[in-house]
Amino acid sequence: MAGTVTVETKITIIDDDTEAPINIVRSKQFSFTAFEDKRFAITSGQTKTLWDPTTDASEAVSDFDLLIAIADGNLDLEMTCNEGNANEQIGVVRLTDDLPFMLGADDSYFGATQGVTGTLDVIDKLVVLEPSTAAKKLRLLMFT
């Protein structure tokens, strides 16, 4: 299934020292040949693999050009580049309540020792950890 997805971002800043709000609006359209809409219930303290096309052949997408993750509370999203290799690189970001996290590509570096170095590769595994004591919901949209 092919199509397009449009991501529209609007940021409104209301500063007590400014008379009018500051509005930043951006729009970006992506074409896709496949997409996956995954919904997860993450239990308290759970670590769960969300996407791993290297070990799960049933994944609808094997890479992504757009990733959107939306959680209803704090979750730690782990992104692995070059999974299983001695030089694999893992990065972790904190997802927060209803604030979408987006990546416009699956490009990432592995074997980095300091700064942006290493070898350009792709993110090939996503894992989530619920760090507190309450169940959360997560929606993961992936487009390729």
Written in H, E and C, the secondary structure of the chain is CCEEEEEEEEEEECCCCCCCCEEEEEEEEEEECCEEEEEEEECCCCEEEEECCCCCCCCCCCCCCEEEEEECCCEEEEEEECCCCCCCEEEEEEECECCCEEECCCEEEECCCCCCCCEEEEEEEEEEECCCCCCEEEEEEEEC
Residue 20 lies in a domain: no
Instruction: Tell me if 98 is assigned to some domain.
Output: yes
- pLDDT value for 132: 85
Per-residue pLDDT tens digits for 64-100: 999 999 999 999 999 999 888 888 889 999 999 989 9
Asked whether residue 85 is domain-assigned, the answer is: yes
pTM comes to: 0.91
Contacts of 113 (CB under 8 A, 6+ apart): none
Q: What is the pLDDT of residue 74?
A: 95
Q: What is the CATH number of the domain that holds 43?
A: 2.60.120
Range of the domain at 118: 36-143
Number of domains in the chain: 1
Instruction: Report, as ranges of residue numbers, the positions in the chain whose pLDDT lies below 50.
Output: none
pLDDT, residue 57, reads 84
